[in-house]
Amino acid sequence: MSIVYTHVASPVGPLLLAAEGERLLAIHFARHGQPASPDAGWREDRGRFDEVARQLELYFAGRLREFALELAPRGTPFQLEVWESLRRIPYGRTISYGELARRVGRPAASRAVGAANGRNPLPIVVPCHRVIGASGDLTGFGGGLEVKRALLELEGVLAPDARALPFQTA
């Protein structure tokens, strides 16, 4: 089966969505102000992503707390286990990397869990932004710390920060 993609506008910048069949494979953030580029061999198909775009729009409007999409992330068995655990972090809550490591049964592996978290191919939908440092600091995020802060503000975890970049208008 071939991989299809599209770009969708979002309040945190353009997102590249990729799918195989009906299953979402990846969400990529813009880099340096430029939309992410599809991999070679991917075919553009805007219509395939109507439901994903609808749910993302509802999420950004504060009207969706849990995504109901067919997902097909590609990773190692350990990464898949970490990503599945991320999906169980409730909207509006955060946990530390150490807590995530405990939840996957590897309490001494917070660095490995952090690395798996950083390779999450489905940010926002698989909420890796809800994992923070043990001290409460915002740490690494593929979309940038401004986007992580904006997502946590949207979910009510953080008070709005006038210094942070506000949501962009699509």
Half-sphere exposure of 76 toward its Cβ, with a 13 Å CA cutoff?
9
Quickly tell me which residue has 């990729």 as its tokens.
18
Taking residues 39-66, report their average pLDDT. Answer: 94
Taking residues 54-63, report their average pLDDT. Answer: 96
For residue 61, pLDDT beyond 80? yes
Structural domains of the chain, ranges and CATH numbers in brackets: 3-60 (3.30.160.70), 77-154 (1.10.10.10)
pLDDT of residue 157: 87
CA gap 74, 71 in Å, rounded: 10
* Tokens, residue 37: 């580029």
Give the rounded distance of the alpha carbon of 85 from its chain centre: 13
Antiparallel, parallel or unpaired: β 43-44 and 3-8: parallel
For residue 41, pLDDT beyond 70? yes
CA 4 to each of CA 20, 31, 35: distance values in angstroms, whole numbers, following the listed order: 6, 20, 16
**Is the whole model's pTM more than 0.95, yes or no?**
no
Clarify whether 128 is annotated catalytic.
yes
pLDDT of residue 55: 97
Render pLDDT for 70-105 as a digit per residue (tens, 0 to 9). 999 999 999 999 999 999 999 999 999 999 999 999
For residue 58, pLDDT beyond 60? yes
Q: Which member of 4, 19, 128, 152 is catalytic?
A: 128
Residue % of the chain over a pLDDT of 70: 94
